[in-house]
């Protein structure tokens, strides 16, 4: 058996003797890399973020920030990690290390006070610093001195907005990083002041090489195991032998169970690097999305070609979570408040389910059978999500939550309408948070189809929509509020589309 190993800040080290449930966060801190902090242990604060070398979208390798508190260290067997300590470069003998440009700007602009959250911010900022699209923007339009001047101004410069700097920095890259004492203005200033990486930057050069190849992992300690097979066929045979195994991809759900509820598993099977689950294909009549592609990878590869998904992604948790979370995981948990099911229901998605005997296709509308229950059999995996083409031209995703971003929804509604000649030819509406499972609003769809897209139709259908599902009252919202928001969401959709679609 090959020893499981991980490369941290350029130095390869064995994972043993850490138990298989050990997180990357705990592994790093036990080795003295205490810049990585534990704040919430559930992926909410970003104090633990580190950089991982992953397959790139525009270059062979991307530096991707993830929540170290959620990922089992065994999941990074054979992979490369950079922590906040690894961003600085060694100085000459007798001198301190040279700060990374992101670290330098955070120091110069007062972006750190108590410092607890700072390493996490620095890692997330560094990932954005190395994003190829941002680097090109910084090269074209922003000399570092001009970027600094813009950061010091109240409103940036012409052609920018509050969420994008003149250097191409997207502040949503910091979504999921919290700071409770510094205030975000100096952190924003630091982000907007960084330039492009220099030619001799080692982490920038590393992007031009392939990322570490996935390795088969057989990591066992005491009575538990973390296993990764090389192919889907091998994985499915393993799951037939071990149907009780916990299947993980990004571990954004299982990691919370381990940390907060102290759950342990005798066997964890990783599927995140299986090539058969990481394909994205656009055919003449459908789009097929691999179940183990992260949401960030899907977002960047589709690049807005599925508008309803493009509306979903910014509202799905945080960038740090989306860098690990997958559609397969979000659907596999069966949560009635997952953000992707309403959108995929509206898009009439189907799931390709695979086991050791073969593969079958199941419409998502028939997939959920009860609270966190589905038609998926023991030993069966979601291999891919299939979206039929063409797409409906009128779409919207409305997520009602207490915060604009990075929050659990009280109600989620996705619309996909085909309006032709002022008449609703077809309507598909997916709902979350109003029943024990994500559901289609079948009665409302029927109330819309074949009728003119007018105020009267919208108001009548909104009344029907208020009665869909079986909403309950809890600490997030009352049943009455949830019902009211269903109807209001349809009226909002009508108001948003009447300029584009005549009454």
| 150: nearest Cα among 118, 137, 319, 123 | 137
- Rounded CA separation 176/174 (Å): 6
Tens-digit pLDDT profile for residues 77-129: 999 999 999 999 877 788 888 999 999 999 999 999 999 999 999 999 999 99
- Rounded CA separation 246/239 (Å): 9
- Residue range 5-86+211-270 in CATH 3.10.20.30: yes
Query: What CATH superfamily is the domain 394-497?
Result: CO dehydrogenase flavoprotein, C-terminal domain (3.30.390.50)
Residue 385: both structure tokens together: 């999500």
The pTM score is 0.93
Domain boundaries, the chain: 5-86+211-270, 101-197, 275-388, 394-497
- Tell me which fold the domain 101-197 belongs to: DNA polymerase; domain 1 (1.10.150)
Half-sphere exposure of 213 (CA within 13 A, CB side): 4
Q: Do domains 5-86+211-270 and 101-197 have the same CATH topology?
A: no
Tens-digit pLDDT profile for residues 370-415: 999 999 999 999 999 999 999 999 999 999 998 888 889 999 999 9
Q: What is the DSSP string of 27-62?
A: HHHHTT-TTS--SSSSSSS-TTEEEEEEE-SSSSEE
Tens of pLDDT along the chain (503 residues) come to 468 999 999 999 999 999 999 999 999 999 999 999 999 999 999 999 999 999 998 899 999 999 999 999 999 999 999 999 999 987 778 888 899 999 999 999 999 999 999 999 999 999 999 998 887 767 654 444 444 444 444 344 444 578 899 999 999 999 999 998 988 999 999 999 999 999 999 999 999 999 999 999 999 998 999 999 999 999 999 999 999 999 999 999 999 999 999 999 999 999 999 999 999 999 999 999 999 999 999 999 999 999 999 999 999 999 999 999 999 999 999 999 999 999 999 999 999 999 999 999 999 999 999 999 999 999 999 999 999 999 999 999 999 998 888 889 999 999 999 999 999 999 999 999 999 999 999 999 999 999 999 999 999 999 999 999 999 999 889 999 999 999 999 999 999 998 644 44
H/E stretch holding 189 reads: helix 184-193
Q: What is the CATH number of domain 275-388?
A: 3.30.465.10
Strands 224-228 and 267-270: parallel
């Amino acid at each position: 058996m090959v020893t499981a190993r991980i490369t941290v800040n350029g130095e390869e080290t064995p994972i043993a003797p850490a138990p298989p449930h050990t997180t990357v966060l705990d592994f790093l801190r036990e080795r003295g890399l205490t810049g990585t902090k534990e704040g919430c242990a559930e992926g909410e604060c970003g104090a633990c973020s580190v950089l991982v070398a992953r397959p790139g979208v525009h270059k062979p390798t991307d530096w991707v920030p993830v929540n170290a508190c959620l990922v089992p260290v065994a999941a990074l067997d054979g992979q490369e990690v950079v922590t906040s300590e690894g961003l600085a470069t060694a100085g000459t003998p007798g001198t301190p290390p040279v700060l990374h440009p992101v670290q330098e700007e955070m120091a110069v602009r007062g972006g750190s006070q108590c410092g607890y959250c700072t390493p996490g911010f620095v890692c997330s900022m560094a990932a954005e610093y190395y994003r190829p699209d941002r680097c090109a923007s910084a090269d074209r339009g922003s000399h570092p001195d001009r970027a600094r001047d813009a950061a010091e101004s109240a409103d940036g410069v012409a052609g920018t907005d509050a969420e994008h700097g003149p250097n191409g920095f997207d502040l949503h890259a910091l979504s999921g990083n919290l700071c409770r004492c510094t205030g975000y203005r100096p952190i924003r200033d630091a982000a907007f002041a960084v330039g492009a990486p220099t030619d001799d930057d080692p982490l920038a050069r590393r992007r031009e090489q392939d990322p570490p190849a996935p390795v088969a992992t057989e990591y066992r300690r005491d009575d538990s195991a973390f296993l990764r097979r090389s192919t889907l066929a091998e994985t499915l045979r393993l799951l037939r032998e071990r149907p009780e195994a916990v299947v993980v991809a990004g571990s954004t759900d299982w990691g919370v169970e381990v940390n907060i509820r102290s759950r342990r598993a005798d066997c964890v099977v990783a599927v995140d690097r299986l090539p058969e689950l990481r394909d994205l294909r656009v055919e003449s009549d459908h789009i097929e999305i691999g179940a183990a592609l992260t949401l960030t990878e899907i977002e960047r590869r589709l690049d807005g070609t599925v508008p309803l998904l493009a509306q979903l992604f910014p509202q799905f948790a945080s960038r740090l979570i989306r860098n690990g979370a997958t559609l397969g995981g979000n659907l596999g948990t069966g949560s009635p408040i997952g953000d992707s099911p309403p959108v995929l229901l509206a898009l009439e998605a189907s799931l390709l389910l695979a086991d050791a005997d073969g593969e079958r296709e199941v419409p998502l509308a028939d997939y959920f059978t009860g609270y966190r229950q589905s038609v998926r059999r023991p030993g069966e995996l979601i291999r891919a999500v299939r979206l039929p083409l063409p797409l409906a031209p009128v779409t919207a995703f409305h997520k009602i939550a207490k915060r604009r971003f990075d929050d659990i929804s009280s109600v989620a509604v996705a619309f996909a309408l085909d309006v032709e000649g002022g008449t609703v030819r077809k309507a598909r509406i997916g709902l979350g948070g109003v029943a024990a499972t994500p559901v289609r609003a079948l009665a409302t769809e029927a109330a819309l189809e074949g009728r003119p897209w007018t105020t009267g139709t919208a108001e009548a259908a909104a009344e029907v929509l208020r009665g869909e599902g079986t909403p309950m009252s809890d600490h997030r919202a009352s049943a009455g509020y949830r019902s009211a928001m269903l109807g209001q969401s349809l009226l909002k959709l009508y108001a948003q589309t009447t300029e584009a679609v005549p009454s």
